[in-house]
Structure 1
Amino acid sequence: MKILVIEDNESVCSMLEMFFSKEGYEGVFIHNGIEGFERFNKEKWDLIIVDWMLPGMEGVTLCRKIRELSSVPIIMLTAKDSESDQVLGLEMGADDYVTKPFSPLTLMARIKAVTRRFQPVADQDSEQDFVRSEFFKVSKEKREAYYMESLITNLTPKEFDLLYYFVKNPRQVFSREQLLDRVWGYQFYGDERTVDVHIKRLRKKVGTASQPFIHTVWGIGYKFDESVNADEE
């Protein structure tokens, strides 16, 4: 796995380099936001790790610029631990958020969890691989999602996982806590607003104002319903 780390703390980079070596990961370390964005554009990456506070370009700006061009998984590292900062990082396109100081083992677990959901499985060509609804078909094995037979190309890994889960479970109402447990699938060091941020982004990509597909059920959570007359937010 090829990982681009954009982090200006050399001790953090040295620590990550050691753990990457043990895991067999190829890590490239850049210490400036502008230079990191330039390096991102030159090569294909399996994962991007971005520090919030960077010289040249702030991590949240860098995250947003990367997300405009690619759905590559992004993990944000930061000493900022307020709820508003976490939400901002997620809104800018990060798939996960790790607060400093952090355990390297925790970060390795996050890396594996994020990339596991992004990696396609080869040689799965049957149409039976897809779960289907009236407008969508989604393959968890191929990591492919289609709307009206057109491939959706701009989903982040977590947005894809949410869409898959919703299409597989139509018209069922899920709380934010249930979605965190069943879609994220591991202990998330944030809060339930993480779900709100990802659903807001997903709605913009797969729905319209008149037909959002993912509906808010007030006081409970969310449901996926393709009916035109479904309760809307």
Structure 2
Amino acid sequence: MKEILTSIIFLLASVLLFAQKDSSGNLNGMFKKASSLFGKKSGSKSSSNLSSNEIVSGLKEALSLGAKKSGDKLSATDGFFKDAAVKILLPQQIRDVENKIRMLGFGKLVDNAELSMNRAAEDASKAAAPIFLDAIKKMTVTDALNILRGSDTAATGYLRKTTSPALTTAFRPVIEESLKKTDANKYWKDVFSTYNRFTSKPVDADINSYVTGKALDGLFYYVAQEEVNIRKDPAARVTDILKNVFGSK
């Protein structure tokens, strides 16, 4: 009982001490200071106590998990097409007059073009995993520390920077082939030909580049979602190394 009383007195004294030093008089700031001393469990690791290998391993695991989930989700049938967050729509200049095109009886062309583009992206997403994993393996200690101290999507930014050229190279032929299989090139040409009849500024977009870029945007969107989830939600840290690295920030 004496030990418990002593601990309580010590805690109260510490809080009062911080209150006196807090010139702003902000109670929230006072309790934040106190919790910085008493809020951590004695057995938990701080980021400064983690080894470089632990930090690198944790970040590699987080990126691998996010990349795999992203690829699996989007490579499934309707992974793009029925997901409003990543669905590939026609270019903006077409969407601006889409209603007019539909009113003229060409709605089916628009629908077919959109479906074929999304199917191509779903097909190409199957090639993402090995490219992601190769980049993740090359992560350095410096990369890992910058990511750990960075924004909620710093790891995704690293992955995008290091994999975009390889992903574009890998995706483009797959998308080209998939667009051929789904007659997307035909639909695309039909839509643009229809659009060009009613504009003084005709367009000639590259469907392959357009769909490749949108497919990559969708992949990284979900990698980022998973990273934010791991950083903010303890329940998403499904392994010990993830708990140690992201629970120590």
What TM-score do you get using the length of structure 2 for normalisation? 0.24
Tell me which protein shows more helix as a share of its residues: 2
Question: Between Structure 1 and Structure 2, whose CA radius of gyration is higher?
Answer: 2
State the structure with bigger RCO (CA 8 A, min sep 6), 1 or 2. Answer: 2
